[in-house]
Structure 1
């Protein structure tokens, strides 16, 4: 008699895959030209910056006891601290940008530089202006230069997987955790970089060019001297654990010159998602108006088991 597999409440698949509703079968019969109104990138530049933070004697938990010895370190992980219940929590790792440009200027009003709404839904774009007539005559862009000061504040969470020997000389594993402050509003970690961008005409357009920038920050951690005995100290009386670390802050920043434009693109039609039907309603309203371009036909919904069974033979 074979034993059945043990019951478990764990999910068989902890991850998922997204469905956009866009399908393309490889044929060009349903592809047509569409006009879209959006923001076009005229120039962009990408930067990778890094900074170091020395973290000496920081407390880590849990306490392992007063008669233990760290044998080796298995892994060290570092991630940003973020409190979803309070976006203004000073412990959240934040990147604050301060950018100045030369060769052009940000358009201002009585309150300072004007910011307009970008694709992220926030007022994250500055309006640029300079005399571009000289380069317009050559059908080229006008170069502008800038300086960016990045101030990083908040904390990072460091996790250290260790193997230790307890008071019975048994080897055990544990994960030590500690929050390391990177910077505060009064004493941030400061990084600086310089950039050059190419600006299109301000005269041959209904819109002035816009400047936008965004950054993402990560971190890596290592023992300060790569020595377990020197960098991980356990108080023999209290069992308190202190660790000496070096934290590398890794920053990726991108800057763009963009202008609202109207483009012609090839399209297969609107997305077609299979709805989760409610048996009470016999019909549901559509989300977008029908296409009024006769050359573009709507895409067919993705075939499902139900629709295949309903097709006549």
Structure 2
């Protein structure tokens, strides 16, 4: 079951293709990371998902319903938090959620119950200050509470942590973790560390093209080469010459700390061969460590291997 599905979704402005035949598959209950550098087409895609921009071609389905430009019927199924949410500054958080609940024609008892629950989730249950006095992080947290007031099936977050300090970012990510399994979160960002900590599945968009869509675990297997640092009592040129005889060692070179570094996809073989080589040559082992893969490494590798062709940038 898919919460969001797009089929060959395309958006062209004049002679520039901003989104090119995009096929997304977002599972229900997942936290889905929508990744890409600035100008990749992320915001345009979100605008089409929200019915605010008309696709040039292609289809959009949200909660199994086909979406048409300017359609309002499906809006009860979605919630949206822009990168800079706006509020009535004189209201308190509680007053604002009551106001939003009334817009969706919710019963007073439902509004009261959900307001209490949501303010607790976002850590604003004790705030009686007017929203105009809130920090950027508090406003982002209130934005998430507001978008959940009508219990949507899908929540779209557009760069929710981009302008926050480390504490504010952690608060938002903790809230997103709480939503996992409760609702579907479509999380657009270019901050890779944020995605790695909360997302079940990610896609990488560049220049309007979908380069890859998979779980982070599978992406690590497919795109990441393990990186190793090695120091011994031997000269670097001796070590490099010896290791070059083995097929598992890639891009062997001097490292900035005086040893050598290399890449490999077969960690099991590397960690078997190195002790054997050290012993056979009577070298002293000073350091041997593996650098764990990060999403940033994977992101760069995906961009490098999948440079889109035949599309205007």
Q: TM-score, with normalisation over the residues of structure 1?
A: 0.19
More strand per residue? 1
Q: Which has the larger radius of gyration?
A: 1
Give the structure-2-normalised TM-score: 0.19
Q: Which has the higher contact order (CA 8 A, sep 6+)?
A: 1
